[in-house]
Amino acid sequence: MTERTPLLHYRLSASVNESECRAPPAGLAPQQHPVGPRMKSSLQRQQPKKLSVFFGVVIPTLLSMFSVVVFLRIGFMVGHSGLYQAIFMFLLMYFIICMTVLSVCAISTNGALDAGGAYYMISRALGPEFGGSIGIMFFLANVCACALFVLGLVEAIVDTFGVPEGGSLASSPYQVLPSGYWWSLLYGTGVLLLCVLVCMVGAHLYAKATFLIFLVVMFVLGTVFISFFAVGPLTIVLPSSASFNPPVNGTGPSFPTTANFTGFKLDTLLGNLWADYTLDYTTGNMMTFATVFAVMFNGCTGIMAGSNMSGDLKNPSYAIPRGTITAVIFTFIIYNLLSVLVACSCDRVLLQRDYSFLRDINIWNPFVTVGVYSSTLSAAMSNLIGASRILYALARDDLFGKVLSPAKKTSHSGNPWVSVIISWFLVQLVLFSGKLNTIASIVTIFFLLVYAAVDLACLALEWASAPNFRPTFRYFTWHTCVLGIIGCVVMMFLINAIYASASIAFMLLLLLLIHYLSPTSSWGYISQALIFHQVRKYLLMLDVRKDHVKFWRPQVLLMVSNPRSSVGLIRFINDIKKSGLYVLGHVQLGDLDTLPSDPLQSQYDSWLSLVDHLNIKSFVNLTLADSVRHGVQHLLFISGLGGMRPNTLVLGFYDDSLPKDTLIDPSLSICPTSDPAGSLQDFDHDQETPLFHFSSVRGSVDRQDGGEIGDGKVLGPQEYVAIIADAMKMLKNVVLARNFNDFDRSVVLSPSSPVFVDVWPVNLLRPDSSSYVDTCSLFLLQLACILNMVRSWRKARLRLFLCVEEGRSVRGSEEKLGQLLKELRIKAQVLSVPWDQQVALHWQRQGERKQQSDTTNEDKEKIEEEEDDYVNSFPSNATRLSDDYLSAVNKLILDPARPPPAVRFLYLPRPPADTRRYTTYLHQLELLTQDLGPTLLIHGVTPVITTDL
């Protein structure tokens, strides 16, 4: 009676012989993590890098790709699919595998490759998210693979030496072992303990045994080839399970109990050329091209076992490509040669009904059994060692924080014994499930997903066109990477579509988890290189000559002196940008000629941490200049690229209010707020390093609000207004933000109270003008509408104020403005506000000036000169505004009868042409906006709104 081993045992044997982590030497870890000098010297003494191409790559890869499949699955394949389809299957399998081999060779020759195999390559190429998620799946696959091999070995031993269940008579005197679930679990535990002992001693012990196992497997394979020529025709009794399906009601086909090994005969070959798919005698399932291909594909994997030995190779960049390709070619030849020999010498019935026929035709039957046992035990140990090394690498990389920290512990020789124990415990848990039919498929899918990730890593490096991606192995292109990915994914779904979908979903879940929880790594992120490559391409395509007003959006440059006093304004401008460009600008005064180095380079980390802390979508642009005005000019000229350039400058208002520190540093247990004594230098040195290194606002001499300019330097009103004038000359829209120091977005938008946004789209510094449809007025409406479109501001109600004088048609003005809003698709409440008293104050002042008859000629000339200057500053307005008028307008805006708004939008007139009147201009703006709360003074210079479709 021949040895009987169920189909899934062979399938699991094939599916797990990937043995990816083929015993990397103990204690090796990714290079990024420093090892103490004593430990490092110990590792170097005990684990010298001395393995050659043959011992370090060829042997592990051959053992992984052969395993028990070469002895137990060749007949299964030829018996069902025939010789023609079998050869076609091998060509297709190896085409898929070779695409991944090319990617492995490319990555392995692009730099120093440490131990860790697929996990190391993927994590260092694609970043921690992909590396960690694939690493966990790789670890679980190796754990389940080890359990599958242990159970497979136990089942093979019980089939040969176990007492038959159900009282059947033993067919062999060697069947002495008791059988049953608990006995099989006991045998499996014993085999697993043997593997654990080897792993606890160290991977080097298994590495020494690898060559002996290789010799055994090659010797048994040699006896198989010799047997085809040395053994004459035989009649073989088929296993009893081969006729498990008896005829129904005494009728139907009856299956033979014997089959023939005919030796080399043409008739036998002709009978085995074409496919003849039938029921699998071990499971009763109908075989098809897809099922046979999926089972046999498992025997072609294991291609990365050699690359996992990279930490112990003399020259990994030289050994991995040559060794892996050599092993792939050798196994391809052996598989095809065996298929031809089997097709020429064995009846179809023998191939379909006895998968272990090679044992019966061997020159000495136990040879094949020894080969099966040794290869299975080798695979179980290698998977246990591989699982422990992957867990150790994951723990050293700190991708999962303290959860895996115990797995970092190693022995004096560098062996990660805690990782071995954890892996052993998980394998033991899997052993309790007994039969692992479903696990076998998902293990194979996990390994295929790893291979697809390697192809993806190589493809991403190639597409990113990174200058440092220069592999010495050049026999690959992005086409081979894509074919490898497609082949692996197709095989995953061919084996089991449900498990393939579940594994991909599990990987994506792990990817998102690591993305949000893991710390920033120093490995580099391929995503950044790909984004750079694509952004550069699309920026070149973004042609400013094709801009259209329909698709205008605000692209904001917000000037910030000290973020500690600008948090409210920074968050508010982030709401108003409407998916446009948002740049935080900062000017530091200084001269690079007098400085040893650029002082701005060390500040970028703090600014970027600020962006992350405030959860805003913004860029940071810092500049060094001899004055704030020149620095703002620099930023307006150079910020952005191509069509993504700021079109709106936002400044904090220039007034006498003292800045307040509103920035909370989450890295400090006590956060400095408005208490001047809470500055950074007052904290103990043993506390956590602060995220931000911005200067304290305490004692600041700047007379600026939340968005102030400068860094503790005095900025005069003359220079401040000059900055506004400069921006308008550059055709930039200008926004002045006042009273945002205490602006708290969460309080303002609380659901308990209504939210209003007030818009005054008339130039309040021009009482003789009441136009609501000029470019600047429409710009105000557009910004207010954009703010109202933001999700958190959608409940806000826009209030549009129409200033009217007695005698004018109020109804007509409201109707015209309402029609305009309807055409512009802006929903707002129009409120008419009479301002006769305010206008009367203005004209009264002008009458008083004209009645001064005792003025000397010199005074008249001076007044005329000032009037001319004012005319040049404000065309068509030859009058001067009084403080009484401005205060009256301020009270009009601040009418207590109306519910106070969250923010006000006011019209900002152009600065006067005469620079001597800059101070007066600023004083007028200050009176106009005094005590108004959060207010934006806005001046638009370009059309931004249209009524067209």
| Category of 640 on φ-ψ map: left (φ > 0), alpha (ψ -120 to 50) or beta | left
Residues whose CB is less than 8 angstroms from the CB of residue 88 and which lie 6 or more positions away in sequence, other chains included: none
Strand partners, 261: 234, 346
The pLDDT value recorded for residue 679 is 35
CA–CA distances in Å: residue 392 to residues 8, 30, 112, 937: 31, 10, 19, 59
Extract the tokens encoding 29.
């870890």
DSSP code at position 359? H
Tell me how crowded residue 875 is: count the other CB atoms within 10 A of its CB: 9
Tell me how crowded residue 826 is: count the other CB atoms within 10 A of its CB: 17
The pLDDT value recorded for residue 114 is 66
CA–CA distances in Å: residue 716 to residues 378, 623, 654, 655, 656: 80, 20, 9, 11, 12
Could you tell me the pLDDT band of residue 650, with boundaries at 50, 70 and 90?
A: very high
Mean pLDDT value of segment 918-922: 92
Cα dihedral angle (429, 435, 438, 444), rounded to 10 degrees?
80
pLDDT tens for 499-529 read: 899 999 998 888 888 877 766 666 777 777 8
Could you tell me the pLDDT band of residue 937, with boundaries at 50, 70 and 90?
A: very high
This prediction's pTM? 0.66
Mean pLDDT value of segment 773-802: 87
Q: Are 651 and 937 in contact (CB under 8 A)?
A: no
Cα dihedral angle (485, 488, 494, 499), rounded to 10 degrees?
-100
Q: Are 814 and 802 in contact (CB under 8 A)?
A: yes
Rounded to whole angstroms, how far apart are CA atoms 320 and 882? 85
Rounded to whole angstroms, how far apart are CA atoms 121 and 429? 29
Least confident of 469-478, 552-561, 907-916, 922-931: 469-478
Q: At what angle do helices 128-161 and 437-464 cross, to 10 degrees?
A: 150
Question: Above 90 in pLDDT, residue 557?
Answer: yes
Rounded to whole angstroms, how far apart are CA atoms 497 and 456? 21
Q: Are 652 and 740 in contact (CB under 8 A)?
A: yes
Least confident of 141-150, 337-346, 423-432, 610-619: 141-150
Mean pLDDT value of segment 787-812: 80
pLDDT tens for 215-236 read: 998 999 999 999 999 988 888 8
DSSP code at position 792? G
Rounded to whole angstroms, how far apart are CA atoms 607 and 561? 12
E-state strands within 326-412: none
The pLDDT value recorded for residue 8 is 38
| Alpha-helix runs per DSSP H in 47-73 | 53, 59-66, 69-72
Extract the tokens encoding 912.
């006067």
Rounded to whole angstroms, how far apart are CA atoms 393 and 400? 11
Question: Above 60 in pLDDT, residue 852?
Answer: no
Extract the tokens encoding 388.
């422990």
Comparing 87 with 823, the larger pLDDT belongs to 87
Give the highest mean pLDDT range of 4-18, 373-387, 640-654: 640-654
The pLDDT value recorded for residue 947 is 63
* Mean confidence (pLDDT) of the chain: 78
Residues whose CB is less than 8 angstroms from the CB of residue 598 and which lie 6 or more positions away in sequence, other chains included: 592, 624
- Residue 81 CB burial class (10 angstroms; 0-12, 13-18, ≥19): buried
Mean pLDDT value of segment 142-159: 82
pLDDT tens for 662-689 read: 887 665 544 443 343 333 333 344 445 5
Please report where in the chains the tokens 């708290």 appear, as a residue. 744
CA–CA distances in Å: residue 762 to residues 549, 783, 898: 22, 15, 19
Question: Above 60 in pLDDT, residue 437?
Answer: no
Q: Are 8 and 244 in contact (CB under 8 A)?
A: no
Nearest one of 148, 56, 138 to 376, comparing CA atoms? 148
Cα dihedral angle (544, 545, 549, 550), rounded to 10 degrees?
-90
Give the highest mean pLDDT range of 150-154, 240-244, 419-423, 760-764: 419-423
Could you tell me the pLDDT band of residue 885, with boundaries at 50, 70 and 90?
A: confident
Least confident of 26-30, 66-70, 71-75, 192-196: 26-30
- Residue 346 CB burial class (10 angstroms; 0-12, 13-18, ≥19): buried
Comparing 307 with 355, the larger pLDDT belongs to 355
The pLDDT value recorded for residue 737 is 94
Q: Are 272 and 77 in contact (CB under 8 A)?
A: no
Please report where in the chains the tokens 């519910």 appear, as a residue. 899
Output the CA angle 34-38-41, nearest 5 degrees.
85
Residues whose CB is less than 8 angstroms from the CB of residue 665 and which lie 6 or more positions away in sequence, other chains included: 671, 672, 690, 691, 692
End-to-end CA distance of the chain: 85
- Sign of the C-alpha dihedral, residues 716, 721, 726, 731? positive
Percent of the chain exceeding pLDDT 70 equals 77
Please report where in the chains the tokens 């990617």 appear, as a residue. 103
Question: Above 80 in pLDDT, residue 836?
Answer: no
Question: Above 50 in pLDDT, residue 7?
Answer: no
Rounded to whole angstroms, how far apart are CA atoms 351 and 372? 18
Question: Above 70 in pLDDT, residue 867?
Answer: no
Question: Above 50 in pLDDT, residue 136?
Answer: yes
pLDDT tens for 287-311 read: 888 888 877 876 677 787 777 666 6
Rounded to whole angstroms, how far apart are CA atoms 901 and 748? 9
Least confident of 199-203, 387-391, 408-412, 575-579: 199-203
CA–CA distances in Å: residue 480 to residues 122, 355, 454, 459: 17, 35, 12, 9
Extract the tokens encoding 484.
């490898």
Mean pLDDT value of segment 136-143: 84
Extract the tokens encoding 110.
């692009």
Question: Above 70 in pLDDT, residue 818?
Answer: yes
Extract the tokens encoding 120.
């190391």
Least confident of 540-544, 618-622, 783-787, 846-850: 846-850
Q: Are 834 and 805 in contact (CB under 8 A)?
A: yes
Rounded to whole angstroms, how far apart are CA atoms 120 and 33? 13
| Category of 263 on φ-ψ map: left (φ > 0), alpha (ψ -120 to 50) or beta | left
The pLDDT value recorded for residue 858 is 53
Mean pLDDT value of segment 719-748: 91
Extract the tokens encoding 278.
């039938």
Mean pLDDT value of segment 161-171: 64
The pLDDT value recorded for residue 99 is 92
Rounded to whole angstroms, how far apart are CA atoms 439 and 812? 79
The pLDDT value recorded for residue 117 is 66
Rounded to whole angstroms, how far apart are CA atoms 310 and 312? 5
